[in-house]
Amino acid sequence: MMTEIVAAIADDPLRNAVRAAREGADMIEIRIDLLDYPADSLHQLFKELNKSVRTPIIATNRIDVEGGKFNGSEEERIEILLSVLEMADAIDIELRTRSEYRDLVVHRAKKAGKRVIISYHDFSKTPDITAMQNIISECFDAGADIAKLAATPHSYEDALSLLKLTLDCARAPAQVCIIGMGGYGVHTRVIAPIYGSALAYTSVGAATAPGQIGILELRGMLEMLCPRV
């Protein structure tokens, strides 16, 4: 399968990681900002995750403007993210993170041989196609291995713009993850992987974004619509 199915985990991480692996997730995203775990216990959590599953782990500690729930300072947020870097396989850092912190995370991750996902989320709208192309370019300029853009379509025309962006990037070729959130975006979570989205985010336990689909449901639809995906 060319697209990697990512199970986003927001609660009960050990149990849900095992469940995600059993259901066939290719990667697991641990949303540190949504977990009820003290910072000093996260190192142990990631050690236990690595013992419990062999599925690659994405570490994410999302800022509030990107839909996250981290309550501390920006310095603390980055420090926590870097504290688990060695036990993760990939790291997600937002494009809108202050450049000095973002560059630090990218540098450390690259040095450690980890994949870097640089992400951008718009929970209010879908930017025009030129703006989205610029966002993707900025992600790669900042050091992304995968550029992730999630937007909120308010029409099927908006959704079509997201899918066109996916297809154009895949032809480049460039490793992108394009997501439509909310009601008008649900079908893009199935179609974008067919058009070349490198990652497809699914829910296990509590959903981490509007419109997420379960692992088994998404895999089944992808295998039915496009067996080569």
| pLDDT score of 207 | 66
Average pLDDT, integer, range 188-211: 87
∠ Cα 71 110 181 (to 5°) = 50
| Domain range summary for the chain, segments of one domain joined by + | 4-225
Q: Residue 80 and residue 60: Cα distance in Å, rounded?
A: 10
| pLDDT score of 227 | 65
> Which residue is catalytic, options 47, 110, 121, 187?
121
Q: Above 50 in pLDDT, residue 140?
A: yes
Residues in contact with 77: Cβ distance below 8 Å, sequence separation at least 6, in sequence order: 33, 61, 63, 70
Q: Verify whether residue 121 is a known catalytic residue.
A: yes
∠ Cα 196 5 83 (to 5°) = 115
Q: Verify whether residue 110 is a known catalytic residue.
A: no
Structure tokens at 63: 């800022």
Average pLDDT, integer, range 51-65: 96
CATH number for the domain formed by residue range(s) 4-225: 3.20.20.70
> Which residue is catalytic, options 51, 110, 125, 148?
148
The predicted model scores a pTM of 0.94
> If pLDDT is split at 50, 70 and 90, which confidence band does 1 have?
very low
Q: Could you please report the per-residue DSSP string of 6-44?
A: EEEE-S-HHHHHHHHHHTT-SEEEEEGGGS---GGGHHH
